[in-house]
Amino acid sequence: MTLTLDQIVEETAQLPADVAAELIERILIRRHGGIEPSVESAWKIETRRRIEEIVNGQVEGVPLEEALARAARSIRS
């Protein structure tokens, strides 16, 4: 039996967040190949740097809702 896209989305919505994230990652890798090691390394370094800035109080995080609203406004303009 072949599942429809709606059925797949519905089934995926029932998964724990970490399992759904892993599924998405696996689909992307299967479809588009893996991340180049140099790019992955650069992102890890950047992520660590940003976390350190937040932890050390150098920058303040932006709530998700505000970040999404900013992005939506940016796209509309």
Virtual CA dihedral for 55, 42, 32, 26, nearest 10 degrees?
-40
Q: What is the mean pLDDT of each run of 10 residues along the chain (77 residues)?
A: 91 94 92 90 96 95 94 93
CA 33-50-59 angle, to 5 degrees, is 150
The first and second tokens of residue 54, run together, are 């937040």
The residues spanned by each domain of the chain are: 1-34, 40-76
The pLDDT of residue 77 is: 83
Which helix (H) or strand (E) is 10 found in, with range? Answer: helix 5-13
Record the pTM: 0.51
* pLDDT at position 47: 96
